């Protein structure tokens, strides 16, 4: 999966808005995960439809499975809002004491901060591509350096 230009723009202001607002965070993550529109995480088809009775849910027309934006990501199965996850990922690169910073800067309870830090670290060790993309993006936005093709996650794989 390559970085691409989102309608939001990949600049510091957009990333900061995504860390503050849930709707912007959702649109930001959709643009990163699905540049060509929603894709079924199970069968990888674009043939999906929105489920009107459940906000943020889709149903695949091929395999008939329901899915959400977070299905198949490290964010799946948690109650933490996406903008809080993005704040946590941003802190991960700059924090030496991630749990303490999650409690102080993001306002998490200690038990939640420990669980999120553990999940982020295990995803980093496992080489989670979404986490790598978000970390690369946050580093390039913080330092204001342009993205090169060699910096993109999965460059040359396709």
Judge if 7 and 61 occupy the same domain: no
For residue 32, count other CB atoms closer than 10 A to its CB.
Answer: 19
Domain boundaries, position 110? 1-33+77-158
Judge if 56 and 99 occupy the same domain: no
- Residues 13-34 pLDDT 10s: 777 888 899 988 988 888 888 8
- Residues 118-157 pLDDT 10s: 999 999 999 988 898 888 877 766 665 444 434 433 333 3
Reference 95, options 120, 76, 127; nearest CA is 120
* pLDDT confidence of residue 139: 75
Judge if 62 and 139 occupy the same domain: no
Reference 42, options 73, 69, 74, 72; nearest CA is 72
**Treating both helix axes as pointing N-terminal to C-terminal, what angle do 82-94 and 110-126 enclose, rounded to 10 degrees?**
70
* pLDDT confidence of residue 40: 94
**How confident is the model over 70-89, as a mean pLDDT?**
91
- What is the rounded end-to-end Cα distance, in angstroms, of the chain? 8
Judge if 62 and 91 occupy the same domain: no
Judge if 47 and 22 occupy the same domain: no
For residue 52, count other CB atoms closer than 10 A to its CB.
Answer: 7
**How confident is the model over 36-64, as a mean pLDDT?**
91
- Total count of domains within the chain: 2
Judge if 119 and 52 occupy the same domain: no
Judge if 93 and 152 occupy the same domain: yes
Average pLDDT, the chain: 81
Judge if 8 and 22 occupy the same domain: yes
- Domain end, chosen from 19, 51, 73, is at 73
Judge if 69 and 81 occupy the same domain: no
């Amino acid at each position: 999966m390559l970085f691409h230009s989102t309608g939001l723009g990949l600049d510091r202001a957009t990333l900061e808005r995504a860390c503050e607002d849930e709707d912007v965070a959702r649109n930001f993550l959709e643009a990163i995960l699905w540049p060509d529109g929603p894709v079924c995480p199970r069968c990888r088809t674009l043939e999906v439809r929105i489920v009107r009775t459940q906000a943020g849910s889709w149903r695949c027309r091929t395999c008939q499975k329901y899915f959400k934006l977070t299905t198949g990501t490290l964010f799946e199965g948690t109650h933490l809002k996406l903008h809080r996850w993005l704040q946590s990922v941003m802190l991960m690169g700059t924090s030496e004491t991630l749990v303490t910073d999650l409690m102080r800067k993001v306002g998490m309870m200690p038990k939640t901060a420990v669980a999120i830090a553990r999940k982020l670290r295990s995803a980093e060790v496992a080489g989670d591509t979404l986490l790598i993309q978000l970390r690369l993006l946050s580093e390039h936005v913080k330092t204001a350096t342009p993205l090169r093709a060699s910096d993109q996650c999965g460059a040359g794989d396709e």
